[in-house]
């Protein structure tokens, strides 16, 4: 099926700025779902609030655009309500790790079988460029005019620490790699966490004089390396891409099925 | 009514009512004095193939039941004061996205942590206006456990009928007291979800109301793929900034409840026919009001009680008509006059008095008697 068959063309044009990384990431997600041959009626996309969270509206699946930070809580209800559905949760960095941080760590701890995709552009784009928990130290935003003094979260470490059983990172530039990672993440039984580094030229790029969307893409190519790369040893500031965790752990959904079975057998 | 006779707690009567109505999914977070509802459902829901989940907070609890409702389950959460405050944003979401759900608030004293184990009815206005923006809401209550059981079923029925969150506003005394309840085997009507008859392949409009105002649903995972959002949206559920779309949506959300208040309002009249003195009360306060009516009648006072089971939409017309025939109106409640203010809007007379307590102590018939003596000119 061509990509356009997964899109609600009725609702185009989309609202993303020229040069925004989100559309490219959405295309990787579509190709991953296509490669897995998932019937459209079995896929639910749940998002929070923000630029990236507008993604569900454009996709021809069951789509739920929820409250800022709460996407994983809604997704938990959908997955537990109907466990046979594939539930994918695109979120922004502030959405997932600031206001939604509590839901993120508990979804990971439970190992509920949903896929969290964090489109991390290190800024609040929708509200006009304020710093988020992933804005690097010293970076400029509308609310850090003299440079950011909040240390940033490493989302991969956060997800690992909270117990996610699949953790990966790629970027909007590495579309093929991201697509393959998402395929694995969606197939994984348990909580999957994928960080997709995305570019916001409009706010993060402009405030920090990093150039256009293309320049941000170049940055993703030059400033990231595959896990275990030699380059990282000489330049620790490089960011690693790849699959950090992929382990089998009973998913919450499966565990609950056992609870139901044993409860029914009590009579 | 045939059925099983049980001697149970108010919170258990909620559980019985919810299971009778077909509850399939419960999410919650422990909080006094509602916790027994979660404990009992953790035990009983899995036995019927239902789902119980303890979430990380009350925000997540309400969000997850909204998600589960969209998959076709009947859903509920239960909480108290502080937890109810945390739920307000998601209540607004359920209003806007028109997702059926039941939210139980077993009220305790506030504000803030207040008196966690003491009774109060201070969340009446929060139930009405707790979430931001113009909207309508349904809030039900009960004073005895047979009514707690049946109003819980009503809460589910109204949530399905009007595609809206329904708040079951109980209080600590009703939640924790024990009383006999008949759990009928059958006979109480249960409203099932109205599912669309639009076949696969035909454009389904999830937010296009039928002539009767109802919106047939399609489950997530079904043949119709559509968008659900808390933004102002068009008939496909897609965000819109069009002022006409916004106007029509808000009108619909309010009218579907306010214009049907005659279907939603539940009240009970106790000895009102010849009453000169009208008591208006609800929840556990109505127990003491009823006690006062019985005592008053014994000593020859023509006194009656209008007990409200629907608080929102407020039954202005019923209150006005009941008050017309009486000399004095006394509103009995455990807050600083939240329903009293509504009664004053309905009754254009200065003969409306408030009998209340807000110190965590259950209001008694002697509290009512004292005020009655004063307003009747009998002294304290
Ligand atoms: S503001 Fe930034 S994140 Fe939002 S659409 Fe524009 S470029 Fe993308």
- Minimal Cα–Cα distance from A65 to chain B, Å? 5
Domain check: are B128 and B77 in the same one? yes
Interface contact A102-B60, CB threshold 8 A? yes
Domains and CATH numbers, chain A: 19-266 (3.40.50.970)
Domain check: are B138 and B200 in the same one? yes
Is the pLDDT assigned to residue A48 strictly greater than 70?
A: yes
Mean pLDDT of chain A: 96
Question: Could you give the CA distance from residue B97 to residue B95 in angstroms, rounded to a whole number?
Answer: 6
Domain check: are B183 and B63 in the same one? yes
Mean pLDDT of the A224-228 span: 97
For the ranges A95-99, B210-214, B354-358, which has the lowest average pLDDT?
A: B210-214
Q: How far is the CA of A148 from the centre of ligand 1 (A)?
A: 20
Domain check: are B13 and B134 in the same one? yes
Domain check: are B16 and B104 in the same one? yes
pLDDT band of residue B211 (cuts 50, 70, 90) is confident
Mean pLDDT of the B345-353 span: 89
On whether residue B234 sits in a domain, the answer given is yes
Residue B74 bridge partners (DSSP): B23
Atom of ligand 1 nearest to the CA of A16: 5
Mean pLDDT of the B184-202 span: 95
pLDDT band of residue A10 (cuts 50, 70, 90) is confident
DSSP class of A15 = -
Question: Could you give the CA distance from residue A19 to residue A150 in angstroms, rounded to a whole number?
Answer: 27
Q: How far is the CA of A98 from the centre of ligand 1 (A)?
A: 18
On whether residue B380 sits in a domain, the answer given is no
Whichever domain contains B285, its CATH number is 3.40.50.920
State which of B202, B236, B264 marks the end of a domain.
B264
Atom of ligand 1 nearest to the CA of A19: 7
pLDDT for position B332: 98
On whether residue B32 sits in a domain, the answer given is yes
Domain check: are B132 and B253 in the same one? yes
State which of B264, B299, B321 marks the end of a domain.
B264
Q: Are B120 and B110 in contact (CB under 8 A)?
A: yes
Domain check: are B251 and B165 in the same one? yes
Cβ of A121 less than 6 Å from ligand 1: yes
Domain check: are B216 and B245 in the same one? yes
Domain check: are B250 and B283 in the same one? no
Q: Which residue from B24, B53, B67 is facing A78, i.e. has the nearest CB?
A: B67
Mean pLDDT of the A53-60 span: 96
Half-sphere exposure of residue A156: CA atoms within 13 angstroms, side-chain side: 17
pLDDT band of residue A96 (cuts 50, 70, 90) is very high
pLDDT for position A266: 81
State which of B264, B282, B307 marks the end of a domain.
B264
pLDDT band of residue B32 (cuts 50, 70, 90) is very high
Over the stretch A122-165, which tens digit does the pLDDT of each residue have? 999 999 999 999 999 999 999 999 999 999 999 999 999 999 99
Q: Tell me the CA distances in angstroms from B46 to A106, A190, A262, B24, one per residue in order.
A: 22, 21, 9, 9
Is the pLDDT assigned to residue A262 strictly greater than 60?
A: yes
Question: Could you give the CA distance from residue B25 to residue B137 in angstroms, rounded to a whole number?
Answer: 22
Over the stretch A236-251, which tens digit does the pLDDT of each residue have? 999 999 999 999 999 9
Q: Are A165 and A191 in contact (CB under 8 A)?
A: yes
Q: Are B91 and A67 in contact (CB under 8 A)?
A: no
Whichever domain contains B144, its CATH number is 3.40.50.970
**Residue range(s) defining the domain that contains residue B162:** 1-264
Q: Are B34 and B104 in contact (CB under 8 A)?
A: yes
Q: Tell me the CA distances in angstroms from B179 to A4, B267, B294, one per residue in order.
A: 62, 21, 20
On whether residue B159 sits in a domain, the answer given is yes
DSSP class of B80 = -
- Give chain B positions within 8 Å (CB) of A103: 56, 60
- Which of A15, A45, A81 would you mutate first to test chain B, the one with the most B CBs within 10 A? A81
Work out how many CB contacts closer than 8 A connect A with B.
136
Over the stretch B289-314, which tens digit does the pLDDT of each residue have? 999 999 999 999 999 999 999 999 99
Residue B168 bridge partners (DSSP): B104, B140
Interface contact A66-B93, CB threshold 8 A? yes
Mean pLDDT of chain B: 96
Is the pLDDT assigned to residue B1 strictly greater than 60?
A: no
Over the stretch B34-93, which tens digit does the pLDDT of each residue have? 999 999 999 999 999 999 999 999 999 999 999 999 999 999 999 999 999 999 999 999
pLDDT for position B380: 64
* Count of the separate structural domains present in chain B: 2
Query: What number is the ipTM of this complex?
Result: 0.97
Over the stretch A69-81, which tens digit does the pLDDT of each residue have? 999 999 999 999 9
Q: Can you give the pTM of this predicted structure?
A: 0.97
Domain check: are B274 and B211 in the same one? no
Q: Are B246 and B240 in contact (CB under 8 A)?
A: yes
- Give chain A positions within 8 Å (CB) of B55: 73, 76, 106
Domain check: are B153 and B9 in the same one? yes
Domain check: are B227 and B292 in the same one? no
On whether residue B37 sits in a domain, the answer given is yes
Would you put residue A208 in left (φ > 0), alpha (ψ -120 to 50) or beta? alpha
- Tokens representing residue B220 in the block: 């997530």
Atom of ligand 1 nearest to the CA of A50: 4
Mean pLDDT of the B202-206 span: 95
3 state SS of B328: strand
Over the stretch A24-37, which tens digit does the pLDDT of each residue have? 999 999 999 999 99
- Minimal Cα–Cα distance from A35 to chain B, Å? 20
Question: Could you give the CA distance from residue B4 to residue B173 in angstroms, rounded to a whole number?
Answer: 24
Q: Are B292 and B365 in contact (CB under 8 A)?
A: yes
3 state SS of A89: strand
Q: How far is the CA of A145 from the centre of ligand 1 (A)?
A: 19
Question: Could you give the CA distance from residue A32 to residue A29 in angstroms, rounded to a whole number?
Answer: 5
- Which percentage of chain B shows pLDDT scores above 70? 99
pLDDT for position A11: 87
pLDDT for position A267: 63
pLDDT band of residue B378 (cuts 50, 70, 90) is confident
Pairing type for strands B267-270 and B303-308 reads antiparallel
Q: Are B208 and B235 in contact (CB under 8 A)?
A: yes
């Amino acid at each position: 099926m061509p990509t356009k068959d997964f899109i609600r063309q009725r609702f185009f044009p989309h609202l993303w700025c020229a040069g925004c990384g989100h559309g490219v990431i959405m295309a990787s997600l579509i190709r991953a779902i296509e490669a897995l041959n998932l019937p459209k009626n079995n896929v639910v996309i749940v998002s929070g609030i923000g630029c990236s969270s507008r993604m569900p509206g454009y996709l021809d699946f069951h789509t739920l655009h929820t409250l800022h930070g709460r996407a994983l809580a809604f997704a938990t209800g959908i997955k537990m309500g109907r466990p046979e559905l594939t539930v994918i949760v695109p979120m922004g960095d502030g959405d997932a790790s600031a206001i939604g941080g509590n839901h993120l760590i508990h979804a990971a701890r439970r190992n509920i079988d949903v896929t969290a995709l964090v489109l991390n552009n290190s800024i609040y784009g929708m509200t006009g460029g304020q710093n988020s928990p992933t804005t690097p130290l010293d970076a400029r935003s509308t609310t850090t005019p003299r440079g950011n003094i909040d240390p940033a979260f490493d989302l991969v470490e956060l997800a690992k620490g909270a117990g996610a059983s699949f953790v990966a990172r790629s970027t909007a530039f590495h579309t093929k790699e991201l697509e393959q990672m998402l395929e694995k993440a969606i197939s994984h039984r348990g909580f999957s966490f994928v960080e997709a580094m995305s570019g916001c030229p409009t706010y993060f790029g402009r405030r920090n004089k990093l150039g256009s969307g293309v320049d941000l893409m170049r940055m993703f190519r030059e400033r990231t390396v595959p896990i275990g790369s030699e380059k990282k040893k000489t330049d620790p500031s490089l960011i690693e891409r790849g699959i950090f965790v992929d382990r089998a752990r009973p998913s919450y959904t499966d565990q609950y099925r056992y609870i139901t079975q044993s409860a029914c057998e009590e009579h | 009514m045939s059925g099983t006779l049980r001697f149970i707690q108010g919170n258990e009567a909620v559980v019985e009512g919810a299971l009778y109505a077909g509850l399939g999914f419960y999410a919650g977070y422990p909080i006094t004095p509602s916790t027994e509802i979660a404990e009992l459902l953790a035990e009983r829901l899995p036995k019927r193939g239902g789902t119980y989940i303890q979430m990380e907070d009350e925000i997540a609890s309400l969000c997850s039941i909204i998600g589960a409702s969209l998959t076709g389950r009947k859903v509920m959460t239960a909480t108290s004061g502080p937890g109810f405050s945390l739920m307000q944003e998601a209540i607004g979401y359920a209003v806007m996205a028109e997702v059926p759900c039941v939210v139980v608030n077993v009220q305790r004293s506030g504000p803030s942590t207040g008196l966690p184990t003491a009774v109060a009815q201070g969340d009446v206005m929060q139930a009405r206006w707790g979430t931001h923006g113009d909207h309508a809401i349904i809030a039900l209550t009960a004073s005895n456990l047979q009514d707690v059981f049946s109003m819980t079923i009503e809460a589910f029925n109204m949530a399905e009928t009007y595609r809206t969150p329904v708040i079951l506003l109980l209080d600590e005394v009703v939640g924790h007291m024990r009383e006999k309840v008949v759990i009928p085997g059958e006979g109480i009507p249960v409203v099932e979800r109205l599912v669309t008859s639009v076949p696969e392949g035909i454009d389904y409009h999830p937010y296009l109301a039928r002539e009767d105002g109802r919106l047939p649903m399609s489950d997530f995972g079904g043949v119709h793929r559509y968008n659900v959002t808390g933004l102002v949206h068009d008939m496909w559920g897609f965000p819109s900034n069009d002022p006409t779309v916004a106007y029509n949506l808000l009108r619909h959300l309010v009218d579907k409840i306010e214009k049907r208040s005659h279907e939603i309002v539940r009240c009970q009249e106790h000895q009102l026919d010849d009453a000169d003195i009208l008591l208006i009360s609800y929840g556990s306060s109505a127990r003491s009001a009823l006690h006062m009516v019985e005592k008053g009648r014994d000593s020859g006072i023509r006194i009656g009680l209008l007990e409200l089971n629907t608080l929102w939409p407020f039954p202005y017309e019923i209150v006005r008509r009941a008050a017309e025939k009486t000399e004095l109106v006394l509103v009995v409640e455990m807050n600083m006059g939240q329903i009293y203010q509504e009664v004053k809007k309905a009754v254009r007379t200065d003969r409306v008095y408030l009998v209340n307590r807000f110190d965590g102590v259950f209001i008694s018939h002697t509290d009512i008697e004292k005020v009655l003596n004063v307003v009747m000119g009998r002294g304290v």
